[in-house]
Structure 1
Amino acid sequence: MSAFDDLVADGRALTDVRLGSLTTYKLGGPARFYVELLDREDLPLVADALAGDPQPVLVVGRGSNLVISDQGWPGLAIRFGFAFTEIGIGPEPQCLVTAGAATTLPRLARETVNRGRGGLEFYVGIPGSVGGAVRTNAGGHGSETADWLVEAEIFDLAEGAFRTAGPTDLNFKYRSSSVQSTELVVSATYRTAPIDTARGQETLREITRWRRLHQPGGTLNAGSVFRNPPGDAAGRIIDEVGLKGFAVGGARVSDKHANFFEADPEATAQDVYDLVQQVRDRVLEETGIALVPEVQFAGPFT
């Protein structure tokens, strides 16, 4: 009996949980083991189980920017539960804001503005969570996570220990950080600034309007598929190559924004993977630009 079998017997872990329902694409098969972290005390338990029964680790988060293989994930999938959705807003003059890993970015943007704190408005249009935002240096509308982060609390599954990491430690780059697959972002603390609430709410509305006008809504997608090359936009390049509407199986390049790939209900994760590969190959062949995927593929793909 493995260490994870013990967690399953105790009700702290599940087996064969389909991960597709936890992602924005709604695609993908089951995880061998699945843990939803109910509180901080669960973290050392998971670390101990991994020490006794090593497994590849996947942090699911809000499931945006993530495509799970049709065969599923062959190891441990982790998701932060409700206890990690708290937001703490400090007083002036520091105006520090601390949010748990599972806090959704639109909620964080709105709650900080409603409390007279500005800076995180750009989060309102990003369908992710705080943990993923730190891990990927999420951004948009001229700002990114690195601009506002003071520190992040990290739990290292390999070491079984908590640590605090600042922006320099996290080595932020465009849509990336040095956070490893065995490191979990537990919470993040941001600096903000006093703001007029009415003006901040108008900024939120403007960003939301812009997103609705320029990006597809109401479809199965994972947001931006490729990172923008320096000084250019992946969507513009894909459009220039003439790939809007290009489809592979049940997955297609959006007619509204070429860096968004939509999936039909009958699509497979492999369809999405193949579409990404074919678009990347066509762009490289016709422009010489090697697009780098922003979306994460988890599990086996062919």
Structure 2
Amino acid sequence: MAWSDQETIDAAAKVLGTLGEKDFALGGATTYRVGGPAAIGVKAEAEQDLLRVANVGKMFDLDILVLGRGSNLLISDRGFEGIVVVLSEQFGEIAVNGLEVTVGGAVPLPVLARKAVNEKLSGLEWMVGVPGSVGGAIRMNAGGHGSDTSSSLVAARIMDLRNGTVHQRTARQLDFRYRSSNVKQSEIVLSARFKCDPDLRGDGQDLLSEIVRWRRDNQPGGQNAGSVFINPVNGTSGSLIEEAGLKGLRIGSAFVSPRHANFIQCEPGGSAEDVKALIDYVRSAVEKHSRITLTSEIRFVGFGEGS
């Protein structure tokens, strides 16, 4: 497709050579399975690849987006006019040392949960129901079933793709809050260390099965990004949406799930613009009905200022 500064995109892609792919498809890389391409996509096999991306981004003044499992992301139908970085399986190692687990930023959370349980470790079971990566979990302090990332994270090794610098940040330095941290869009989590507890009762496998069963029974499948809005201090976003009479509401190809009101789903072949319009409408309607402003958990990319 044609970008607003195609000349710059072409020049940057030329410098990246075989490392970069122009018009890199993104829709299939997110759980919403909608959205346009990135101007350039890079699948990094090593930290040296990330340094090249940082240099090219700085050289051509291009925005850089880190893409994990795409489970908390909505990309516009227009796409992303910059460089998207995806970590390869080379960043997917898991090493267990006593009660500590060191993992690559690309490790899927369910894989980490099962590995920890197999090693007779406890504390990461909740991750089995979250379809994200370690890097994404740290960025948004993902959580569920009474726990979250900050509860067990020791430290993370992070690269800033604006300049290629690498540093370690402890859990305290990450300034974790409910569903957020201070990891920037330009930063990528290379690896992380988690501290677990010993599974003294040996019920880890049962807990994994229970979480998977609960998710299956209570949350919808299909194309969605999980919970759309952060729960307010009192109550839940789902109940507020339902009280406003929005369950099942549809805008084009997007609709509020009849099973769980805090899930907005999209039909196959649907539009990111429909999903964004419905999210905005739901937020406005809940504010009008309950005088509570909901905050989205979803990251919006390519929708312009204020998105």
Is TM > 0.5 for Structure 1 vs Structure 2?
Answer: yes
1:44 aligned partner? 51
Cα distance, 1:4 vs structure 2: 3.6
Partner amino acid for 2:287? L
Summarize deviations over 1:178-223 as a string: whole Å, max 9, x none.
0111111111100001114840000101111111111012x11111
What is the aligned counterpart of 1:224 among 220, 223, 227?
A: 227
Aligned to 1:29: 36
Q: Structure 1: give runs of 5+ residues left out of the alignment.
A: none
Deviations 1:2-28 (A, max 9, x none): 344211x3x101100120010111101
Letter in 2 for 1:202: D
Cα distance in structure 1, aligned partners of 2:269 and 2:164: 41
- Superposed CA RMSD: 1.3
Match of 1:292 in 2: 295
Identify which of 9, 16, 21 aligns with 1:14: 21
CA distance in 1, matches of 2:110, 2:269: 29
Within the candidate set 191, 205, 208, 1:204 is matched to 208
Aligned to 1:249: 252
Matched, 1:122 2:126: yes
Q: Give the Cα–Cα distance (whole angstroms) in 2 for the partners of residues 193 and 65 of structure 1.
A: 28
CA distance in 1: counterparts of 2:33 and 2:285, whole angstroms: 27
Q: Aligned residue for 1:2?
A: 11
The one-letter code sitting in structure 2 at the alignment partner of 1:50 is: G
Q: 1:139 aligns with which of 135, 143, 146?
A: 143
Greater CA drift, 208-217 or 274-283: 208-217
Partner of 1:259: 262
State how far apart, in whole Å, the 2-side matches of 1:34 and 1:159 are.
18
- TM-score, normalization by structure 2: 0.94
**Among the aligned pairs, what percent are the same residue?**
45
Q: Is the 8 A contact 1:66 1:222 kept in 2?
A: yes
Give the SS at the match of 2:231: coil
The separation in 2 between residues aligned to 1:15 and 1:266, in whole angstroms, is: 22
Structure 2 distance, partners of 1:89, 1:232, is 38
What SS does the corresponding residue of 1:169 show, helix, strand or coil? Answer: coil
8 Å CA contact retained: 1:98, 1:189: yes
Greater CA drift, 290-299 or 45-54? 45-54
Q: Distance in 2 between matches of 1:297 and 1:172?
A: 21
Q: CA–CA distance in 1 between the matches of 2:20 and 2:247?
A: 42
Residues 13 and 21, structure 2, Cα contact 8 Å, conserved in 1: no
State whether residues 114 and 197 of structure 1, in contact with CA within 8 Å, keep that contact through their aligned partners in structure 2: no
- Work out whether 1:67 is the aligned partner of 2:70: no
Name segments (4+ residues, structure 1) moved above 4 Å.
none
Matches within 5 A, 1:72-91: 72-91=79-98
Match of 2:7 in 1: none
Which segment drifts farther, 192-201 or 68-77?
192-201
Distance in 2, Cα, partners of 1:53 & 1:2: 8
SS in 2 for 1:168: coil
Q: TM-score if structure 1 supplies the norm length?
A: 0.95
> Is 1:54 equivalent to 2:45 in the alignment?
no
Q: SS of 2:39's equivalent?
A: strand
SS at match of 2:158: strand
Q: Could you tell me whether the CA contact under 8 Å between 1:2 and 1:52 is conserved in 2?
A: no
Q: In the alignment, is residue 277 of structure 1 matched against residue 280 of structure 2?
A: yes
SS of match in other structure, 2:19: coil
Residue 153 of structure 1 aligns to a residue whose secondary structure is: strand
* Count of residue pairs the alignment pairs up: 296
User: Which letter maps to 1:86?
Assistant: E
| Counterpart mapping for 1:174-185 below 5 A | 174-185=178-189
- Determine the C-alpha separation between the residues in 2 that align with 1:133 and 1:252: 26
State the SS of the aligned residue for 1:131: helix
